[in-house]
Amino acid sequence: MANITAADVNKLRTITGAGMMDCKKALVEAEGDFDKAIEILRKKGQKVAANRSDRESTEGAAIAVVNADKTAGAVITLNCETDFVGKNEGFVKLATDLANMALNYATKEELLAADFNGITVAEKLIEQTGVIGEKIEIGSFERLEGAFVGSYIHAGNKIAVLTALSANVNGAEEAAKNVSMQAAAMNPIALNEAGVDASIIEKEIEIAKDQLRQEGKPEAMLDNIAKGKIQRFYKDNTLVNQDYIKDGSMSVAAYVKSVDGGLTVTGFKRVALG
């Protein structure tokens, strides 16, 4: 029988993130062979993942990161089953590591296939499923590029947002953060009118007309009144047209222009748990 030392156990724990006892058991079973021990832990993760495949993973951590020159960002959710695991320091660190990796990939599928210390990200998630005992998966995955990209993560890592601005000007960092906070709080469906799907507008027009008919408004007036209601819909549901939450006397677009006359919001990405 191989002599398994505390240093061996700690080394395997550092490599895999598995618990102390799980690492010791794996090393004993593998007779001290590290590669075999890692494989044992991975297989355990596969078994746990298979058993928990039908579980809902609505808790976790939403993380936004931005590259060094502030021209691109990535935002993901790493999902798990319970809030207890989602708040764990090691879990949040893994989510942050994966978000930083996401800066280099265009899709979630590419990220899952990427190398994570000798195994793929997908294999790492299976391994951690075995370690933690809960279903773990990357839920949302978004990237954003722009002349300046800033971010905001809501307290508790429940919501994360990226915002792109048209220029890297003085005050851009604070402006991007404030607009990201706006998106986190108000959950707009699009950046502006052009981003709203035509089917949504058609549905809103029909709802507005039905309401007007019930109020007894003449049929000839419905189109014009409905158009006014759609403008209100844009104001409530598109980011740049919403009232700025820190100063209701101006829109988000007006707030950004108050930072710099030529500044505009060019995009945003918002992810949330649940």
The CATH architecture one would assign to domain 6-51 is Orthogonal Bundle (1.10)
User: Exposure of 122 by Cβ count < 10 A (0-12 exposed, 13-18 middle, 19+ buried)?
Assistant: middle
Residue 134's pLDDT is what?
A: 84
Contacts (Cβ under 8 Å, ≥6 apart) of 169: 148, 259, 260, 262, 263
> What is the dihedral sign for C-alpha 120, 124, 127, 133?
negative
Say whether domain 59-165+261-272 belongs to CATH 3.30.479.20.
Answer: yes
DSSP annotation of 190: B
Q: Beta partners for 165?
A: 148, 265
**How distant is the alpha carbon of residue 19 from its chain centre?**
27
Q: Are 208 and 185 in contact (CB under 8 A)?
A: no
Predicted confidence at residue 17, as pLDDT, reads 64
Give, for 217, the enclosing helix (H) or strand (E): none
Tokens matching residue 195: 């981003």
pLDDT value, residue 54: 66
Q: What type of residue sits at position 101?
A: M
Strand 72-80 versus strand 115-116 pairing type: unpaired
Give me the pLDDT at residue 50, please.
Answer: 63
b/e map 31-68, b = 16+ CB within 10 Å: eeeeeebbebbbebbeebbeeeeeeebebbbbbbbbee
Strand locations in 18-58, DSSP E? Answer: none
Distance CA 225, CA 218 (A): 10
Q: For residue 24, what are its two tokens?
A: 């010791």
Whole-prediction pTM: 0.78
d(CA 175, CA 171): 6
Q: What is the pLDDT along the chain (274 residues), one digit of tens a residue?
A: 578 889 988 888 777 666 678 888 888 989 888 888 888 877 776 666 566 666 778 899 999 999 999 999 999 999 999 999 899 898 999 999 999 999 999 999 999 999 998 889 999 998 888 777 788 999 999 999 999 999 999 989 999 999 999 999 999 999 999 999 999 999 999 999 999 998 998 888 888 888 878 888 877 777 777 787 888 899 999 999 999 999 999 999 999 999 999 999 999 999 999 8
Helices (H) and strands (E) in the chain, counts: 11, 10
**Cβ atoms of residues 62 and 155 within 8 Å:** no
| pLDDT for res 220 | 74
Q: Determine whether 110 is exposed, middle or buried from the number of CB atoms within 10 Å of its CB (0-12, 13-18, 19+).
A: middle
| Domain residue limits, the chain | 6-51, 59-165+261-272, 193-258
Element (H, E) at 270: strand 265-272
